[in-house]
Every structure is written in structure tokens, then in C-alpha cells.
Structure 1
Amino acid sequence: MRLTTLMGVGALCALLATGPLPAGAGEPDEAAVLHRANGAEPSSLDPQLGTGSWESNITGDLFEGLLARDAAGELIPGVAQRWDVSADGLTYTFHLRENARWSDGTPVTAGDFVYAWRRLLSPELGAAYAYLLFPVANARAINHGEQAAETLGVQAVDEHTLTVTLTRPTGYFPELLAHPSTFPVPEQAIRAHGSRWTQPGNMVSNGAFELTEWVSHGHITARRNADFHDAAGVSLQAVTYYPIDDARAALNRFRTGEMDMIDSVPTDRLDWARRSMPRALHVSPMLGTFYFAFNQREGSVLTDRRIREALNLATRRRIITERITRLDQPPAWSLVPDAIDHYDGPRFDFADSPLEERMARARQLMQDAGYSPAHPLKLTIDYITNPETRRIPVALAAMWQPLGVDVTLINSDAAVYYAKLRQGDFQIGMAPWVADYNDASNFLDLFRSGVPNNHSGYHHPAYDRLMAEAGETLDPGKRARLMADAEQRLLDDAALLPLYFYVRAVMVSPRLTGWQENPLDIHPSRWIRFRSGTGQ
């Protein structure tokens, strides 16, 4: 999942007290409106089209999948109150809640999931996350236009029973069912309103909240959904999300009480926050990697592996984490975070080499490629407009200058920036990624040929072959080894510039409870409440 903020400088929140509000805990506080700083302006509130945390934070409140997540980020029953798995691990049978309803009062049925999943895989929709359903029988072929949608391995046995057939046992499959892309979407609203179905007054949703207002670049408001199956367990009356991607502005609004939660803290204000607001500041690790993508499409100078390797060699990761981001993030010498379960991945072979040795090797590679301080290579680095995010490209430019690299910095707002990434209109661009689920494939799939999130345009038949074989093997150990071999291929190709694994710092008002830290950085508003006696 993409992020807008400089995540090493901003934010995974911790619980300030208790836990989630239990069902039946009483009527919601009619005055309780939560104000959340939320990064960038969403490009869409269609859960099947959003790709950023600034979108999933909202769609995760508006919709609910077969499974959901509690305040600690753990899987819990969602629309499905229980499920069975066949002995061979290929067939899942989900039993849906009979009281699951859309916000217009109509039932959420198994047929809604059949419709939604077929829509997600439709080549015409072009959903970036369609590949998450590829474990389902025929999903890949449908997404590639090779088979009809009706052949998808999902069936509504009756209104409250859904069966899903997989092509192979997939241990992390339940994790995918709590991802917004696999949520049900309202066929009735989509048919009635087309692409405008996500607008207030048109949207029908099935989550804890329903959309009431969307002021472009101003705020988005959602009120408690009275038709939600656990409405009695939702304390908040409403949530307002603000597109604030300037960490300094967000902090100022938090200090004045305008914001109850913000998702980043300016680097130069961390010490102040530690001294002045220790109860509000929370710092913790998460499953994510901050890296830069190299444009490796045909015609790009960065198709030359020697240049990519030289830039990696000259990058002083520890300097960046100690002097710029200042949260002691682990330097990243690979793509997949060390904390990913059931995976022991490789590292760059120069990870432990002295700087002098690395710089000598980098200079030689650049000379072999035809560049030096006397004959410099001109490169551009794109980044999202923000004083915080600018500091890393500035540092990279200084580190690469001795190699004969002349860097120009280009900044854009988040919407324009990610459009440029998708179009390949960049040379080097920041590509922060936080896990959607705890599996190495969620990172390694980013570099498979043809995947929409493969912004670099990286293509290597051996890599694709290894990932395909990993996807087909039934042996977990062999699967992990194949993925590690694939990642080694990435590193040998210097296909990316990883900098560090994420640690975030956020601010959460001490008046709140129910927000627990978790490595996926998922914090549904459903579980948040104001402490008794603190007011809104």
C-alpha cells in the first residue's frame, strides 16, 4: 500500500488506553466527532480503485469485507460470521451474517461478493489490486481477458453462503479478505450512478460509517451507519478526514485541538514532541520499506545496471536514518522487511563493506558506463511536495555528486506524483510501501512484469519464473526459498534503491482510547472512542 508521508518521520500510533469498545456498550455519544489528518486527497472512494493509505483509511470505515480487523490489526469475522476450510485447503465456505445490511437497508448477500470480485478482475476496470485475487480459480485468466468472468471460482450457494475455490492452498488468503479491494460493492448504486456512485447521496456502503460530505481538498465526513451489524458497538457519531500532507501544518492543527490524530511529525519537532507532548507522541515499527524506484523502461538511462548499482553503493543509509529521519529505522539492504513472517531473504552483497570500498566500486562502475565528474550524468528525482520528503532527495543528490551525478529535484502533489509514476514519467521516484498483509509476496509482486504497481517497469523472465513457481508450490519452505531467489535476482540487478524499513511517529490525543499500534498501520475508526468526561 502506498503512502504519502515520509514514513520514517511520521507515524504508527499506539493505544492510549483500553481496547475496542465491545458490542452492546451503549448508545453512541451524539457529540463525538473524530477529526483525523489523512494525508493526501483521495483520488477515489471506490474500494476497488484506491491504492493509498489515505484512501483505505476511509474506505475501511465505509465498507466491510468477509473478514475485518480489530484495533490491534488482527483478523476477526466481518460480514462472514464464520467460515470452513476443506482438508486440502482449496475450498473456503463463508457463512454470512443475516443482519449484514447496506446503508440503504437492503441485505448484504453472497451475490454481492460474486459481483464485486468479478468487477475487481474486469480488465476494463483496471484495478491495481486485481492480482490479490489471483489465488482464486481462473482469476488470473479473467483479469488477462482470457476467460469469462462467470468462470471465477466463487459461487453464491444461497444469500448467506459463499464458496471460494482456490487454485492452490494459500495460507495468507484470509488476510486478503480484509483488504478494501475484496470488499463488496453495491451493484444497485453502481448501475444507477456509474462512476459517480462514490459521491455523497449516491454511495451505499456496508461498514461502520456512511459518507455524508466530500468537499474536495477540504474534508470528508462520514456518520455512524445505523444499519451496520455492530452499530451498537460504535461509539463515534461521525468521523471527519482532512487531506493534510504537510506534517508541520498537521502538527500545528493538532496543537490547537483541531485534529485528534495526525499521521506524521516533522523531523525537527520530534525532540520537542518528546519533551512537551509525551502522552500524545507514539513511535513504533511497521511492515514497510521506504525505497526509490528506478525507471527501467526502454530508452531510460537507468536501464544500465551499472548506474543503478553505483547509486546504491554510494547511498549512505545510516546517515539518512540518523541525521534526517531520526527514528533509528533499520537501514534497508533489501526490499522485503526483516520482520516479515516465514521468510529469510537476501541482502545486497556490499551491505557490510566499508564506505571507501563501496565508493571506489561505484566510481569504477560509473566510469565503465561513461560518466565522471568531468562528464556528469544528469538525473531527476521526483518526490511528493513536502518539506519533510524533500530532505532525502537532497541528501541523495549530495551523496551521488562525487560519482559525477548531477541531480535535479522535481516535486508534485500526491495525485500528480502517482500519476507520473503510473505513466512512467520519471527517472527516479520515491515509492514507499507498507504491507497489505504479512507475506513476502506482497512486496515481491511489485516487480512482476505487467503488475500495475510495478512503477519501475522492471522486467526479467527469471524473476517472473521464480515468482510464478513460488505461487504454484505447496511446500511453504520451498516457496520461501523461491521468493528469496527472486529477491536475490532483484538485488543482483540493483532494480531498486531501498533506504530503510519503516518506523513511524504519530500524535494521538490523550482523550482517545481504542487506537492500538500494529505493524500494518490499520486503525479503524470503529474502535475509537473519547474518554469518558473529556468531551469531543
Structure 2
Amino acid sequence: MPQHRFAAGAQIQREDDVGPIETVAAGERVPACPGGAAGWRRPLAALLLAGLLTPTAWSQAAPQTLERGNGPEPSTLDAHRCPEVACANILRDLYEGLVAEDAGGRLIPGIADRWELGADGRTWTFRLREGLRWSNGEALDAMQVVASFRRAFAPATAAPFAAHFDALANAPAVQRGELPAEALGVAAPDARTVVFTLTRSADLPRLLTLPIAYPLHLPSLAAHGNRHTRPGNLVSNGAYTLVDWLPQSQVTLERNPHFREAAPIPRVRFHVTEDAASELKRYEAGGLHITETVPPQPLASLQARFGGQLRIAPYLGTFWFGYNLTKPPFRDAKALREALSLAIDRDILTRHVTGLGEVPAYGVVPPAIAGYAAATLPWDPSRRDQAAREARARQLYAQAGYSEANPLEVEIRYNTSTPHRRLALAVAAMWREVLGVRVRLRNEEWKVFVGTRRARAITQVFRGGWIADIDDPRNFLASFRRGDGSNWSGVDLPEFEALLARADAAPTLEERARLLRAAEARLLAEHALIPVYHYTSKHLVRPEVGGFEANPLDRHPSRFLTLGDVPR
């Protein structure tokens, strides 16, 4: 299999929280595809060790707690400020919005039992259920829902996903502080009715499943401030309540006695599992019922070991590497950015590094998005083979002013994760072999990484990606607008934004899709990011867990799961 040999004096370094743990020095071979190659023996040995563990049998006698792997430490349990999957998974158990999703990702009534769109196509009316209660027993009504929306869009909240609601009347102006919260296009004409006014058509019911749309108990927020998310302070309205949060370890929930339907499983524990290999060991040792992911291993081997416990399914997400476009060396350096993208062999990465059904990505929007023909880079596999791409990469690299005597020195930054570490190491090796780039790899704990990436002060190349909030191509593209909280690269393309605006005003779905595709093509033509692969969801699920259904958004609320013969 191909290997990458480092020139004398070159070095790639990988760091963990405790400091450097592996250095690939001059002359050492680093394989492009790690399975079985000597340069990757150390990480592979750790993975193989997990396979030698003997699984501990779970007791079938009335298990009381569902143990779930959940990836990194959640950055917050403030629903309006949640920026990532790790907190959203927990919030989906703690809260319920006007609209919810069932085990298969289908829309179902939430705290609203029905809704309708007005004849103008811009006014949505939601009717709340009777007898709604917070977890402390207090009544929940429409006025509180409206007040919570106003808090979500207040400038001080700095909600990272507020931009998804830019169709809500006055929402952008309210968030910028240009209009008062009362100007937001949401009102409560009575205690059981919530009315939204939009400025354009939008799939509002689907958007209302997002954590930013969950009602918060504002008296708790007033009483405790930022500590309103702590156990004993957090008052929620979903199927579960928060009883414990041990940072960097676990978050424990118990049934909400005031929720309309008792969840089948009385207690759920979400475990911090940043390292996928360690998570696998914990699963095999009997410490988890569901893993958050599966570490990179040969698919056939995993299937042989776990059979039906291995759940792999299409997932609406794209992994990409981003550039910091606000600083050298990537500001005003389109040729360099394209050269680095061309030098990556995505087929090798998806077959030998990720290896669990992922698809090479040459665009931002996954091909599985309904009703949309995704745009691609101009040199996808149907138009140029990898050897030709690498030749073109060398030309562009030289054009950008770099050479063997004057190599690019760059840092790839990523959050702590076995898959991310392996992928970054492989990409660094490809850049070294094809172009002579000298790469330093640096990993950070999730919260630190998120803050660093957002600040755009020291990042150069960073791990990016997007998991769909809703099944809509715009959901992937809107985060690249100037000023968006998720625009970690600092993309500033007026033509791109103009196409998004025209898509928002399009008279038909077909015209909207055409304009969104044009916007995606413009973003790709700028080489503002490096698409790498489209995700699959991958979990290990124990046989005694019932109700786990694959769905494109990979959402699995605990209230739809069962666990053995749990007492009701």
C-alpha cells in the first residue's frame, strides 16, 4: 500500500492534552492508508487491544439506566446557546419544543398538538396542549413560549443557530440589537396559541425541533444566571430532568414526573466519550448500551465481531477542513488553497482511514439531500484522476510561491478524537508527499477547540464539518455567510450571499434549488474549504435496546427507546 516518506528534517507532530505523544520524524514512513502499515502500528495496536477484551454480559433483570456514549463534553445545557451535537442529544431528552420528532425522525406534535399555515403562506399558528407543566410542576403557557423566543434572539444570548430563523419577521434585526425583542415575529394571542409571522416561505415546523426553539424556564434563568443549567437549578419540560452533571465524565437524567407520558426507561446517563477506541472498550466491557460512534476499523472485521449490533446508515453530514481566510498564509491565496485540496486522495481516506461507508466529498451539501442536485468541485473523479489532480496541485503550489526550498509550514487543529487524529495524520502525510508541506498537528479538548476555531486568531487549517439540522441544502450553505456565528473561516463572498438571498425569494422550489446550487458552486470555486467526505452514522447498540431506528439526522430521543423489562 502507498506510503509517505518524510524528507530529512521534516516533522509531523501530534499532541494530546498531556503533551506530545507521537512524532513522525525525518525519513520515517507514514502510510496513506493505515490498515496494516508499520507507521500506524501504535494506534492500530490500541484498537486491536479493544478487540481482545471479553464482553461482560448485561444483566437482563430489570435494568434501570440506559448508558449512552455521547462524544465530547457538552459545551452547555443552555438550549439557546447549544452549538453542537453533544449538547443537542441531551437537550432533546430534557426539553420539548412546539414540534418534536419520533424515533424515525418524523415530525410529531410536541407541546403543540396541532398547527396550520395561513393562506398567505407566511403565518403559522400553533395550538398548545392542555395541562402543560414544567418539571417543577408549574404551568407552561403560550406567553412563556413567546418570552423564551425573545430571549433566544436577544443580542446578549448570542445564539449560534439563530441564523436558521432568518425568515422569522425581524429576527436578524432583533439579534443585532436594532429592534426591541417585542418586534420579533412571534406572538401569543391567548394562553394556548402561538403565532409566527415569516418574511418568506420556510419549513417552520422542522425548524422548531431545534434546541434554539425550546422553551426555557426564565424564572430559573433570572434566579441563577449562567448556573441555571446546573443540577438542582435547571427546570425543563421534556421527558427527563437533569439530576447530575460530572464535568468531563457524565450527565445523568431521570424521568420528568410532570411529562404527559412516562418514558419507558427511568434513567439515562450520557457519558463523555471523546476517544472512540476507549468508547469501544467500554462498550465491550459492558459499560455502554449505545456508542456515539465506532473507531476506524475494517468494516468486515466489525461486522464479524458485532453482527446486528453494528448500525451504519446514511447521515446528512459533511466533513471538511477549513482555512482561516482572515490571515496569511490563506488570505488572498486561492491557488494555495486549491493545491492543498487537490493533493488529498479522498478515495484512500474513505476506504482505508474512515472505512465505514463514508463517501468522498467534492462539495458541501451531501448527495442524499432531498430534491437537490449538489454542486461539486470542477475536478471530481468523473473529470480528473488523482494523478492528474496531484500534478495540477504541484503547479498551483509553485504558482503560490512555495517549493522544496521554501515549503509551506502549517498547522492542522482538531478536537480530541481518534478518527480526527487518524484523518489529520493521513492528510498531513499526503501534503508532505505530494507538495513537500511541513505540517504540525494539534488537538484540543472540545470546548477549547470550539473557542479557538471561532476566534480565528491562531487557527490555520482546522477540522470543520456540518451535520444537518434539517433536510435542506440551505442549512449547509448559510453558515458561510459573512457574520454568521458558524462561519469559522471568515468567508466573505458577496456573490455567494446574493445567490442565497435570491434563493430565499424564489417563487418555486425548483428555482430555489437551482439558485442554491449556484451558490454552492460559487463557494467551491473559491476553494474556501476542503470537502473530504460525507458522513455515515455508526453506532453499536446492544440487543436489549429496543426502538433504535436509523434516520438521516441520526437523532434518537431516549423516550422512544426501551431497555429489557424496565418497570413502568
Answer whether TM exceeds 0.5 for this pair: yes
Q: Is the 8 A contact 1:136 1:152 kept in 2?
A: yes
Question: Residue 283 of structure 1: which of 312, 316, 332 is its match?
Answer: 312
Q: Is the Cα–Cα contact under 8 Å of residues 62 and 565 in structure 2 kept in the other structure?
A: no
The alpha-carbon deviation at position 214 of structure 1 amounts to 0.9
What corresponds to 1:248 in structure 2? 277
Separation in 2, partners of 1:348, 1:268: 29
Post-superposition offset of 1:269: 6.6
CA contact (8 A) 2:299 2:356 kept: no
Q: Which residues of 2 match residues 104-503 of structure 1 at below 5 A? A: 104-170=136-202, 172-231=203-262, 234-268=263-297, 270-351=299-380, 352-401=383-432, 402-424=434-456, 425-503=458-536
C-alpha separation in 1, matches of 2:537 and 2:98:
29
Q: Distance in 1 between matches of 2:308 and 2:144?
A: 43
**C-alpha distance in 1 between matches for 2:294 and 2:63:** 28
Q: Paired residues, what number?
A: 504
Q: Confirm or deny: 8 A CA contact 2:220 2:228 kept in the other structure.
A: yes
What are the ranges of 5 or more consecutive residues in structure 2 without an aligned counterpart?
Answer: 1-60
Q: CA separation in 2, counterparts of 1:519 and 1:66?
A: 21
- Of the candidates 73, 76, 88, which is equivalent to residue 41 of structure 1? 73
Task: Give the superposition deviation at 1:31.
Answer: 4.9
Q: Which amino acid is 1:176 matched to?
A: L
Residue equivalent to 2:133: 101
d(CA) in 2 for partners of 1:64, 1:476: 30
Q: How far 1:106 moved relative to its partner?
A: 1.2
Deviation at 1:276, TM superposition (A): 2.1
1:363 Cα offset (Å) = 1.1
* C-alpha distance in structure 1 between counterparts of 2:512 and 2:559, whole Å: 36
Contact persistence 1:169–1:474 (CA under 8 A): no
Alignment of 1:514-529 (within 5 A): 514-529=547-562
Partner amino acid, structure 2, of 1:42? P
Structure 1: distance between partners of 2:295 and 2:341: 26
Residue-by-residue CA offset, 1:92-137 (whole Å, 9 max, x unaligned): 1100011221001112211122111111111111111111221111
* Paired position in structure 2 for 1:15: none
Q: Which amino acid aligns with 1:86?
A: G
TM-aligned CA deviation for residue 270 of structure 1: 4.5
1:509 to 542, 548, 553: 542
1:54 to 77, 86, 89: 86
Give the 3 Å change call, closer, same or farther, for CA 501–465 of structure 1 in structure 2. same
Does structure 2 conserve the Cα–Cα contact (< 8 Å) formed by 1:37 and 1:259?
yes
Structure 2 residue matching 1:291: 3-state secondary structure: strand
RMSD of the TM alignment (CA)?
Answer: 1.6
Aligned to 1:24: none
Output one character per residue of 1:317-374: Cα deviation in whole Å (capped at 9) or x when no partner. Answer: 0000011111232211100001111211211111130222212211111111100122
1:73 positional shift:
0.8
Amino acid at match of 2:296: T
Checking the alignment, whether the CA contact within 8 Å between 2:251 and 2:271 is kept in structure 1 is: yes
Corresponding residue number in structure 1 for 2:100: 68
Which amino acid in 1 is paired with 2:387?
E
> Is contact 1:374–1:404 with CA below 8 Å preserved after alignment?
no
What TM-score results when the alignment is normalised by the length of structure 2? Answer: 0.86
Aligned-pair identity in percent equals 40
CA distance in 2 between counterparts of 1:359 and 1:136 reads: 46
Task: Please say if residues 221 and 240 of structure 1, whose CA atoms lie closer than 8 Å, have aligned partners that are also in contact.
Answer: yes
1:521 maps to a residue whose letter is D
Answer yes or no: is 1:530 the counterpart of 2:559: no
- Cα distance, 1:423 vs. partner? 0.8
- Equivalent residues of 1:315, 1:400 under 8 A apart: yes
Point out 4+ residue stretches in structure 1 off by more than 6 angstroms.
none
Contact 1:286 1:518 in 2 (8 A): yes
Which residue number in structure 1 is paired with residue 49 of structure 2? none
Counterparts of 1:337 and 1:386, CA distance in 2: 23
2:318 match: secondary structure: strand
- Paired amino acid for 1:463: F
What SS class does the counterpart of residue 297 from structure 2 fall into? Answer: helix
Higher relative contact order (CA 8 A, sep 6+): 1
